[in-house]
């Protein structure tokens, strides 16, 4: 059973909302959850209906909570942390989900915080299928790590990394990547629409195959991905022709470049913010 602590989400946008929803669905008492979301009244109402406390300032929320989850955009993190930088964090745990903000930067923003954990979740957390990369310095209290892991386990799987630079790689592999799959499905949908299928039918067809293919991967952990691909590819058949177009355009290299562009951006953000 997960420990019961008062948790405050600073910023309750897409990512925080996914985690809050998962937490509450998994049975975490909503009266222990505070969410601060400055500019979105509709979201605050939604959270209020879920039993979450939504009427506190960032500073009040931080003062009252045992665990602070920083979930604002990286670009506003410094400004937001300044509002509560002089609160005593020595007995509080901090979890940041922001891309490109290093632990060292967070330590500078919150000088009394000793237990800071960085995570890189993803939006499938909204449906309990998330994957969160996690990093903490060796000095962080293990009970803080355990709590964070159980919190994020309520919305999916967790994967600890040994060094912080690995977290930027996790951004490319699991944080940004739901968008890659959506982009691929969009392209397939567009092509089907050009063939004359309705948007709705094209979506139905594409999402059905995406789900089926994903399940085949998950349910056959011992079969290499290349074998699953080969099993579809009859000699001299249609799939071979389709795949040869991907090869002509060097799909592996395109994907590799895209993932490295995400990492580079995360590293740039770490320097700028």
Ligand X SMILES: O=C(O)[C@@H]1CCC=N1
Q: Does 94 bind ligand NAI (CB under 6 A)?
A: no
Query: Residues 50 to 109: which contact ligand X by CB under 6 A?
Result: 99
Based on CB atoms, which residue is closest to ligand X, 99 or 136?
Answer: 99
Residue (115 or 121) nearer to ligand NAI, CB? 121
- Residue 74 annotated as binding? yes
Nearer to ligand X among residue 179 and residue 254 (C-beta): 179
Q: Is residue 242 part of an annotated ligand binding site?
A: no
Strand ordering across the sheet containing 67-70? 33-36, 7-10, 67-70, 93-96, 115-120, 130-136, 156-160
CA torsion sign for 150, 123, 117, 255 is positive
Cβ of residue 99: shortest distance to ligand X, in angstroms?
A: 4
**Segment interacting with ligand X, rule: CB under 6 A, options 44-52, 137-145, 171-179, 247-255:** 171-179
Q: Verify binding: residue 55, ligand NAI, rule CB under 6 A.
A: no
* Ligand-binding site membership of 240 (annotated): no
Residue of 171, 173, 202, 206 interacting with ligand X (CB under 6 A): 171
Across the strands, what pairs with 95? 69, 117
Which residues inside 6-25 make contact with ligand NAI, applying CB under 6 A?
Answer: 10-16
Of 85, 20, 25, the residue nearest 54 (C-alpha)? 20
Beta strand 33-36 pairing with 7-10:
parallel
**How does DSSP assign 117-186, residue by residue?**
EEEE--GGGGGT-EEEEEEE-TTS-HHHHHHHHHHHHTTEEEEE-SSTHHHHHHIIIIISTHHHHHHHHH
By CB under 6 A, is residue 170 in contact with ligand X?
no
β-strands 115-120, 7-10 pairing? unpaired
| Angle (nearest 5°) at CA 159 between 153 and 163 | 135
Applying CB under 6 A, which part among 66-74, 150-158, 224-232, 252-260 lies near ligand NAI? 66-74
Based on the shown chain and the rule CB under 6 A, indicate whether residue 175 belongs to the binding site for ligand X.
yes
Dihedral sign computed on CA atoms, order 148, 150, 154, 157:
positive
| Residue 71 labelled as part of a binding site | yes
Residue 108 labeled ligand binder: no
User: Known binder of ligand: residue 113?
Assistant: no
Annotated binding site for NADPH: 58
Binding site for ligand NAI (CB under 6 A): 10-16, 36-40, 58, 71-74, 76, 80, 97-99, 120-123, 175
């Amino acid at each position: 059973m997960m420990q019961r602590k008062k948790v405050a989400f600073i910023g309750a946008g897409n990512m925080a909302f996914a985690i809050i929803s998962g937490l509450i669905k998994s049975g975490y008492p909503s009266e222990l959850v505070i969410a601060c979301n400055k500019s979105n009244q509709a979201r605050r109402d939604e959270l209020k209906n879920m039993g979450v406390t939504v009427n506190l300032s960032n500073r009040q929320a931080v003062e009252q909570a045992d665990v602070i989850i920083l979930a604002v955009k990286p670009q506003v993190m410094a400004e937001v942390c300044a509002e509560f930088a002089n609160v005593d964090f020595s007995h509080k745990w901090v979890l940041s989900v922001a891309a490109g903000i290093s632990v060292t930067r967070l330590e500078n923003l919150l000088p009394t915080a000793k237990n800071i954990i960085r995570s890189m979740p993803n939006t499938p957390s909204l449906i309990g299928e998330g994957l969160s990369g996690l990093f903490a310095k060796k000095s962080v209290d293990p009970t803080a790590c355990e709590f964070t892991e159980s919190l994020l386990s309520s919305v999916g799987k967790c994967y600890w990394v040994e060094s912080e630079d690995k977290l930027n790689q996790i951004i490319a592999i699991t944080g940004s990547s739901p968008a890659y799959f959506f982009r691929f499905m969009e392209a397939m949908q567009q092509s089907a629409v050009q063939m004359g299928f309705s948007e709705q039918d094209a979506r139905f067809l594409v999402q059905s195959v995406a789900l089926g293919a994903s399940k085949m991967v998950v349910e056959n952990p011992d079969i290499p991905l290349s074998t699953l691909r080969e099993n579809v590819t009859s000699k001299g058949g249609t799939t071979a022709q389709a795949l040869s177009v991907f090869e002509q355009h060097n799909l592996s290299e395109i994907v590799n470049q895209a993932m490295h562009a995400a990492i580079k951006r995360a590293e740039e953000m770490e320097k700028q913010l």
